[in-house]
A = this chain, B = another copy of it.
Amino acid sequence: MALYTIGIDFGSLSGRAVLVDVSNGAVKASASCDYPNGILEEKLLCGTVLPPDYALQVPEDYMHVLRETVTSVLLQGNVSPDEIIGIGVDATACSAFPVDKKWKPLCEDKRFYKEPQAYLKLWKHHGATDEARRLTEAAAKVCPELLSQFGGSISAESLYPKLWEVHERAPELYEATYEYVEAADWIVYRLTGEKTRNSCAAGYKAYYDPEKGYPDEKLFREAGFCPDGSVADKLPSPVIPVGQRAGTLSKNAANLLGLKPGIAVAAGLVDAHVCVPAAGVTEEGHVLMIIGTSACIMMLGRDRTEVPGICGSVTDGILPGFEGYEAGQSSVGDLYGWFVDHMVPADVHDEARARGMNVHLLLSSLAEKKQPGESGLLALDWLNGNRSILCNYELSGLILGLTPKTKSEDVYRALAESTAFGCRVILENFASHGLPVKKFTVSGGISRKNPFIMQLYADILGMNVEVIETQVGPALGSAIFAAAAAGRKAGGYPSVQRAAQAMKSPVLTVCEPVPEHVAAYNELYREYRTLYAYFGEGENNVMERLHRFMKE
């Protein structure tokens, strides 16, 4: 009898379930479903108008997606409930909302259904930028070590600004809040009846440390976030390491989904980090980059080391037993997309249409004909600022070396090179802090669609770039965690690492560096690094001054 696990990935607009063969990771069935109410950005369902920068969701939508997608993969897969040994769930984070003592969403409470603060705040909800700024300023005073562990600022996308916004704008709701839960943990609760918080979301988004717990209350007091009791009172449930079993499937949930009660349910997971085992990344020094509009760069280490300028380092944050390091680049696909939308002339678009090609691929095929350095261009990839390792969102993009012969494919190539140079800075930063990069794996849309850009990364990083085949990385990752949560006795695996070894995605391709290109790019990288230091490390703060000037 074949055995399966189910992985469910809750994205921003839709969720996806996959039914995965535990023996080899083959995806037997896959189904996705949009959230019925999507993202609420202008008003609530009852008509309450929302301020700008709001991005809310309805928690029950997640249950709808859960039912639809699980039912669908069971139908498609034509497997018996007996063959399914575990479930794993990941979601975006911090995507959180207030619940009562029974973990019932307070937006379903009559008292609060007109209150925006009662709804799920999606990761990209930016209603609490002011709270984030105040928390960052306070942290700089009372716990600078926290800031340096988490990329120099407390993001408006993290948990405390979102929670503080509840306290400021809806104090009665705050009072009524038993817990402020992450979406993935809430789904796990709905599946098991167990109230847990996963170490990944708790670590990266609420700065939880297995030894020290949540940040000291003096941070919140210094910032002016002073509820009755402590802030951590709103996060009472235990934090459990990812990879652990959160509980077993309850009868109710089993009935709802057509599954067998008692099977393992893994601790909640976060959509980016859960890709790590799906990509076969289970060892110290192995890096996974997910390349999309931005890039998320994750690395496993055995011990905690202070690495300046990264987004965060969390014990058990990615895989149990490892320190999980996360860094990022704010503009990758975004940078290429901006260029194609705003700076590419009509004849290139016309040619792409005539050849039935995507403009990105046309520019790539034209750029590919040239040699490294042939265009004389060099760019800085800071269109949206620099997330790692400068942690500075007032930086901006730069293109240098323009001549009358500069064509759009030259600039496109220079921009792609700049993102690879930016990635190299991050990897070298890991290495120079005791975390040498031994292997580099890539996932995400661009990696599968654009071999030219992946070859640039290989040539610029000077190492093999392994591109992963799966298009459902997060859901596959959740299924891997589910197999570990099920354990060996149930037919799963004794650890996430072992599960990943068996179930990881196949490799689509490996780009190998071309020695002459590596040599040329080593020279160009030196130039990039000099400009990086000049504009990014304080020699000339012109970008920040222009940024402020722009806003005046």
Contacts and interface: CB of A to CB of B under 8 A. Distances in A.
Interface of A: 331, 334, 338, 341-346, 349-350, 373-378, 383-384, 396-404, 406-408, 411, 520, 523-524, 527, 530-531, 534-535, 540, 542-543, 545-547, 549-550, 552
* Identical copies of this chain, number: 2
Given A343-B345, A401-B543, A527-B542, 11 more contacts: A342-B408, A343-B343, A343-B408, A374-B550, A376-B549, A397-B406, A398-B398, A398-B399, A398-B401, A398-B402, A401-B546
A126 B349 CA distance: 36
A382 to B, nearest CB: 8
8 nearest CB pairs, A to B? A397-B402, A346-B346, A376-B550, A373-B549, A398-B400, A376-B546, A396-B401, A343-B343
A394 to B, nearest CB: 10
Contact of A530 (B373, B523, B542): B542
A546 B345 contact: no
Contact of A540 (B343, B396, B530): B530
Contacts of A534: 534, 540
B396 A543 contact: no
Contact of A396 (B396, B400, B545): B400
A527 B546 contact: yes
A400 B380 CA distance: 9
B406 A546 contact: no
A550 B403 CA distance: 11
A360 to B, nearest CB: 15
Contacts of A350: 346
Given A344-B345, A345-B346, A408-B343, A546 B396 contact: no
Contacts of A546: 373, 376-378, 400-401, 527
* Residue of A349, A400, A406, A411 with most chain B CB atoms under a 10 A cut-off: A400
A406 B376 contact: no
